[in-house]
Structure 1
Amino acid sequence: MLPRRPLIPSLLLLRPWSTMAVPPEHASPVQTGWPERYFVAESSGSDLVHFTLTSDRERPANRARPRCFLPLPGRCYSFCVPAAQSPRQRVWAARLHRKLQQRLSQEPVAAGRKILALLSYGPQDAALERGFLVQDEQPLPNTERSLEELLRLVLPAPAHLSVYEEAKDGELWHALWRLQGAAEGKELVCRTRVVATEEPTLHPACRHLLDTAVFSSLETARRVLEECTSLIPEAKAVLDLVDKCPQHPKKGDFPVMVIEGLDATGKTTLTQALKDSLNAILLRSPPPCVSQWRKIFDDEPTLIRRAFYALTNYILASEIARESAKSPVIVDRYWHSTAAYAIATEISGKVQNLPPLHHQVYHWPEDLLKPDIVILLTVSPKERIRRLLGRGMKKTREETELEANRFFRQKVEESYRRMENPACQPVDARPSREEVLKAVLHLIKNQCHLL
């Protein structure tokens, strides 16, 4: 079990003050020694709402009501998973977050209920906590009780419940409750005000992307999957394949060309045409030796799923090294795809919330075999959806998200554009197959000196 950090837990509940044991005018300050915490919730339209808690008895100058809290009679509930540091703790926390997500999705869907993503973080790179905010416009009587039962069952003891309540003057107050055993009730810990805050310069998740979503080396990804071998038998099989690969494989004398892009941008058609035109070997990511485990790891939380895909890149690198000694190599997706989707998934909100240009998360891992050129195929969203519908293929969870959320798609596309060393070279894939092939061959000729 993970040690509990002395932070303000973030299970949020909005209800009338009349139901509370202590009135707001008797509010207690945050317990001495508890570090400052901030919160960000992703509301409708991918807008981010930032707020914090303060123990000041004086009414704060900033009285703006955080938009993620519903007016009465609505209620809002949320909770975060305790922060973790070591690989073992991070795997535990990630699976716990996933379990809570699944349990919430299994609850009966009431009219007017929404579940929002929630982050809790501290200043100066303090540990990030992930959770959920549940909005109920018309709350059911047993909602609070069922959430308390869920917290007692899933979170490390003692679980905490934070109650956010509206006073008569319209201000929001926070009451922290410690949940005892099922038969012991709960204990009031402290009360604080709730105030809106300005958006930070850098999205709070940006500081935590490396080696939790985008892995900077084989070893950092390996440590995550090593902690999963007792939980996911296939993790051991993946690690066995990694162990059979040569360390730091070197590219052969022939060029390596990677084709990137969202689904339905023409990658399959182009890679096959390049294979025939250049008499090249065609490889795909992830390679066939691990493809049978994709669905298993796609159902795991981001930390584990991204570690799996990061390691498949290193397995693919050994194949690239071997084949590039004999002929040119075409690769259908590689590291850039793994990183772009991870960044877009982990950074909530819109494109402007992405890590800035030249952030380390966009840099190619130093221990991964590097291609000679990376081509990024692009088409308009309307054309891409038309092609997807025409294919009639089953979509992955991320492809479904791409279609449903234009902000997610924009973040993926922009993350591709920000990749460095090597950068992605965009090619408009709207023209005919022949024209696209001609444009790509021209880039290859100029950069790889192959033709």
Structure 2
Amino acid sequence: MARRAVSLIPPWSSRILSVELDGAPFYFSTREKHLGEEAPRVFREAQNDARLYSLLVCSGDKVRQAKFHWQLKDKLLRELPPECHLSPMSSFVPNVRDSLLKGYFLKDNSESSSPTERLLRDLSRRDPVLVCSYLKREELWTQHLWSGADSPTTDTAQDYYVVPSEAPECHPSTLNIINSDVFYSFEEAYDVLNKCGDIIPEAMSVLELLPSRAKARSKPDFPVIVIEGLDATGKTTLTESLRDALGASLLRSPPQCLSPVRARFDREPPLIRRAFYALGNYITAEQIGQEGMKTPVIVDRFWHSTAAYAIATAVSGQVCDLPADGSEVYRWPSDLLQPSLVVVLTLDPEERKRRLSNRGQGETEEEKKLDHNQLFRLKVETAYQRISGPESVTVDASPSADQVLQQVLPLIRAKCHL
């Protein structure tokens, strides 16, 4: 399995490896000859008797790869000795799209290497995972790629020296965002869920709800206004008030027809979960097209939310690690209906938290993360602001609901000629 997996990726020595420590990535690479560099931090900090391994998931089938990676952590935590410590890890070729492989870096401080190596050897033989072991000789560390049939001590594969590597220009996660974390076409999202039919029965019921085909539609006869913002910024109250004030139709994304299966897809890997929500936008777009021929349409969340949460989740680190403003990851999908106007509601974090506590409603895992992680909230808000396509206006949602409505109504009437 390891030999076949290696054949799917560029030459091993051209790749950079990254280990997440305390929420930040630390980079290293491999080289045939050592030039006297200091060992990378992740190796310098290892205990002298610790055994180090890396596991990277690699498969020609991206759905299978995502599913296996999602399940691998639970398997490792369940079957490894308790003295083992896992850190998220990746491998990539700088500036090469879709080159990112995800996995885990393993420090084994247990007394015996046998249980760990027995499990890793079994994984490397049967599953789409590349296993490497690391050995310290004097002050130098080497990496050995297991072939699957090998024990960690055989020499059928070349060993490489481990050396530090500079941080890449772009965060490695950005290499795989397009049509993996954020989807930019109906066909790409459809293909992911279609491949899930044999492992997720609910996927087929979602596909049956989709329009017969998705294509860029001409604007409906009436304006389409999307209200965006973090949870508890007052979107529901505002959208209902706008519906009444403008005599408009009110739609929500994800659409109500997906509610029975939403919790099921929230438990799936990001690739499958994001494809589900992307297709929800296309169902909503079909509904917008129908309603927009008769009346103005107000939409509670749309593609902005789908993309902003996905980008902020995929890219670890700081706000500066997000793709730069103007990056293609912020572009609106060419085959998705564009609204006439997007209003993004903003709110002071403390006020938003107070409103959330008063609601007492269930939240998604990402919404819970907003409450406890200021950095994640800042990344979501930054991604919101950078999305390009339909015209977007930011509105302070801290005044009363009526005052917010009185801010937004003139805006809509001026820009949408209502």
Q: 1:153 to 1:49 in 2, by over 3 A?
A: closer
CA distance in 2, matches of 1:327, 1:157: 54
Residue 385 of structure 1, CA deviation: 2.0
CA distances 1:348-380 after superposition (whole Å, capped 9, x unpaired) = 211111111111111111111110111111112
CA distance in 2, matches of 1:131, 1:423: 39
Match of 2:145 among 163, 176, 188: 176
What is aligned with 2:15? Answer: 37
Match of 2:394 among 418, 426, 448: 426
2:50 is the alignment partner of 1:82: no
2:75 is the alignment partner of 1:97: no
> Which portions of structure 1, spanning 4 or more consecutive aligned residues, are displaced by more than 6 angstroms?
none
CA distances 1:28-73 after superposition (whole Å, capped 9, x unpaired) = xxxxx644110122221x222111111214423xx25324763314
What one-letter code is carried by the residue in structure 2 that aligns with 1:39? Answer: L
Q: Please, which moves more after superposition, 34-43 or 296-305?
A: 34-43
2:25 is the alignment partner of 1:48: yes
CA distances 1:211-250 after superposition (whole Å, capped 9, x unpaired) = 1121111111111111111121121121122144675444
What is aligned with 2:102? Answer: 130
CA distance in 2, matches of 1:285, 1:115: 36
Q: Please, which moves more after superposition, 314-323 or 219-228?
A: 219-228
CA distance in 2, matches of 1:267, 1:158: 44
Residue 415 of structure 1, CA deviation: 0.7
Q: 1:142 to 1:97 in 2, by over 3 A?
A: farther
Residue 310 of structure 1, CA deviation: 0.9
The two structures, once aligned, show a CA RMSD in angstroms of 2.8
What one-letter code is carried by the residue in structure 2 that aligns with 1:36? Answer: S
Residue 150 of structure 1, CA deviation: 5.2
What is aligned with 1:321? Answer: 289
Q: 1:231 to 1:67 in 2, by over 3 A?
A: same
What one-letter code is carried by the residue in structure 1 that aligns with 2:6? Answer: R
Q: 1:416 to 1:333 in 2, by over 3 A?
A: same
Match of 1:120 among 91, 103, 110: 91
SS in 2 for 1:178: coil
CA distance in 2, matches of 1:264, 1:292: 23
CA distance in 2, matches of 1:258, 1:245: 23
Match of 2:119 among 136, 149, 153: 149
SS in 2 for 1:214: coil
Mapping for residues 7-406 of structure 1, pairs under 5 Å: 34-44=12-22, 46-60=23-37, 63=38, 65-67=40-42, 70-73=45-48, 74-84=50-60, 89-106=61-78, 110=82, 114-125=85-96, 127-135=99-107, 139-141=109-111, 145-146=115-116, 148-149=118-119, 152-153=122-123, 156=126, 160-169=130-139, 171-180=140-149, 187-188=154-155, 189-244=157-212, 247-406=215-374
CA distance in 2, matches of 1:110, 1:276: 59
Q: Please, which moves more after superposition, 378-387 or 347-356?
A: 378-387
SS in 2 for 1:4: helix
SS in 1 for 2:154: strand
Residue 114 of structure 1, CA deviation: 5.0
For the Cα contact (< 8 Å) 1:178–1:187, is it kept in 2?
A: no
CA distance in 2, matches of 1:432, 1:306: 34
What is aligned with 1:29? Answer: none
Residue 77 of structure 1, CA deviation: 3.9
Query: Runs of 5+ in structure 2 lacking a partner?
Result: none
For the Cα contact (< 8 Å) 1:159–1:179, is it kept in 2?
A: no
CA distance in 2, matches of 1:331, 1:144: 57
CA distance in 1, matches of 2:374, 2:87: 17
Percent identity between the aligned chains?
Answer: 41
Q: 1:381 to 1:156 in 2, by over 3 A?
A: farther
For the Cα contact (< 8 Å) 1:257–1:331, is it kept in 2?
A: yes
After TM superposition, the score normalised by the length of structure 1 is 0.83
CA distances 1:141-191 after superposition (whole Å, capped 9, x unpaired) = 36762464156247646965322244443x43323333438xx77634332
Question: How many residues get paired?
Answer: 414
After TM superposition, the score normalised by the length of structure 2 is 0.90
SS in 1 for 2:210: helix
CA distance in 1, matches of 2:58, 2:136: 27
Residue 317 of structure 1, CA deviation: 0.5
CA distance in 1, matches of 2:203, 2:90: 29
Q: Please, which moves more after superposition, 68-77 or 35-44?
A: 68-77
